[in-house]
Amino acid sequence: MITVEELSKHNLDDLIEISKINVEETHPHMPYEEDVIRHYANYYMSLIDSDIRVYLAYNDNKPVGYLVAYVKPYLFNRGVSVGQEMLYVVPDSRGGKAAIALMKKLDDLAKENNALEVYAGVANGYNTEKALKFFERLGYEKVGSYVRKVA
């Protein structure tokens, strides 16, 4: 059974465990620095009414994925958008319900904030077409491109 929890002190080590797998798989050219992840996770948890949310998915109490989401104001009106900054599910749990449950949390966050738009995408070049098809099945439409330059 898939459950989703918001990041807290009691599940921080689960985020650390999954984020290491994520970096090794999708960003092998980048260093993995656990202290940095701990720092930012603790920072996000310390904020009241944070515009950054982190959710962890569990399959029978085993951590299998996470979502980092944001709420961001528009520069041209009083509305906000909500977006998926990072979505990751461990390889042996892909194709199940973990990613869907995490994206449901994104929709919930959008409703809570009366968002005018919800954004999702792939910014690391890993399984881009497969991920885009997943987002399209959830009702998202392709509306542009994202580019990256490795410094």
Q: What is the CATH number of the domain that holds 79?
A: 3.40.630.30
In this structure, is residue 57 part of a structural domain? Answer: yes
In this structure, is residue 117 part of a structural domain? Answer: yes
* Phi, psi for 72 (deg, rounded to 5): -135, 130
Average pLDDT, 10 consecutive residues per value, the chain (151 residues) = 96 97 92 95 87 96 97 96 95 94 97 96 78 91 80 77
Q: What is the DSSP letter of 53?
A: E
DSSP sequence for the chain? -EEEEE--GGGHHHHHHHHHHHHHHH-TTS---HHHHHHHHHHHHHSTT-SEEEEEEEETTEEEEEEEEEEEE-SSSS-EEEEEEEEEE-GGGTTSSHHHHHHHHHHHHHHHTT-SEEE---SS-SSHHHHHHHHHHTT------------
Report the domain count for the chain. 1
Whole-number pLDDT of residue 23: 94
In this structure, is residue 40 part of a structural domain? Answer: yes
In this structure, is residue 151 part of a structural domain? Answer: no
Whole-number pLDDT of residue 121: 87
Whole-number pLDDT of residue 87: 95
Structure tokens that stand for 3 in this block:
């459950």
Whole-number pLDDT of residue 89: 96
**Under a CB-based contact definition with an 8 Å cutoff, are residues 83 and 110 in contact?**
no
In this structure, is residue 46 part of a structural domain? Answer: yes
In this structure, is residue 143 part of a structural domain? Answer: no
Whole-number pLDDT of residue 82: 97
Considering the entire predicted model, what is its pTM? 0.91
Whole-number pLDDT of residue 100: 97
In this structure, is residue 42 part of a structural domain? Answer: yes
Q: Which range marks the domain in which residue 96 is found? A: 2-137
In this structure, is residue 81 part of a structural domain? Answer: yes
